[in-house]
Structure 1
């Protein structure tokens, strides 16, 4: 009995002693700010939101937050000035940055195909051979600017002033539906989501097979070379988690869109997000292609931009991108 009491006291003291030891200190998460290409959250952020919600970034030691730029022309400058670590922006931004020696590197692709289109009202016939005298809604981003140059070059418009381009800041579909524009421009996912949510009908679309613009990826994940040199492991961790979240979002499109809609309920409707994400998925390419980039596509885009005179020199594709941080 005395032995049993002694053993009980001994074990109690051991538990007490063990409880006074300091717990292991967890490694702090590395903060990574992702700056979007648009001043409002959009469903193209679904893989990022999924990775946040499912703890994929945290599991790799990252605390990823989303930052919005003031306009569609500021993402690259925010990276260069240290206001964010990773960007999501059009590949034309990367080439324009190289043209003015602004340090910017594409570390992964978002999509694999060009979804940019000329948009008409539901049921409207789009005649690209008769663009002169038309009013066309355009946005201020660099991809739209380059695609409009290419559209004109491919469809016989030698004087851009022959077409009235109306700048729209956030949405052009309301102006199109109201008859204040003859045509609009946008990527197919946003155009389809807009039209279905507003009218329940598909818009008319003239996409790359009719416009003559090249079938090249639009968006890339980007970073400054200085940040990459100091935080290469964070870049790899970010892309590994983003790859897994993108694959999951493709396999579970409705769940992924619903998660985004719950996270940002004041931005768009759940229907808009669901239709938009479903329309986006075919442009992302097959699963083995996710996040991949090629020198061929970068050279083709830079060459097209040089041909229409918006850049003065085509650089080695390695100037624009690297695959060094992609998941192996």
Structure 2
């Protein structure tokens, strides 16, 4: 009899319905466990972000309101550093150089990357080899690229002018003529074009083949197909590359600094290669104007944020995503 009662009780327990409150408590417990697990896995990144990004940004914002030379205690000066930026002719020169470099370099970078990606898309089995060849220069340290710039673009015996001489062209003084310093740096920036080529190649290979077949049936030629099929379908990748390279162009530093400002270099036309971040670096670590340099950094941050916001707004008209209707 007792055994029977136990079996009945067990069956009753098995048939017991879980109440909504118990189900909700179980979901909350599972959610808390998932949250703890996620925070545990994210904790290295969170600590790194707080220590190496968030806190330096906050402290830099504070320093931008002070007169600080690293040695003495920061002295609060309010918006004086920002007012000085508006009246600094050298900062204006650095900003003009940077804007010119970015405005020319980014479109050229995109065009050359797209052309190479289109060629690789038709390369067949050899595309793997050429992908590696194009990407390897990306692994070159920027300082080495700066030194390479001086060797390749030397006006007297540089490789580029030597090749131009074979065709009877008298090459310019790339490193000493102020009119040719920035064009030379723009050409040199194409050295690291490999990453963009790989991204665009992947985008090209994801374009549905049936779209090309439909365009061919409609009698569309190469240019019509490119404008109506290829470019719209790879526009997200193009937009990503434009955003990334615009930000990188506005922060140009390594190659130009190595070539024209490193190791006390005063031989070349430095003002023509004086970019915004180089001038910021000089103010911070050569002249020890940390407060002014911090204000410059926040000024550049706001400029990049505004330009990126404009690009995001414009992209709504020109960038196509497959989920769009």
> Going by fraction, where is helix more abundant, 1 or 2?
2
For Structure 1 versus Structure 2, the TM-score category normalised by the shorter chain is under 0.3
| TM-score normalised according to structure 1 size | 0.25
| TM-score normalised according to structure 2 size | 0.25
> Going by fraction, where is strand more abundant, 1 or 2?
1
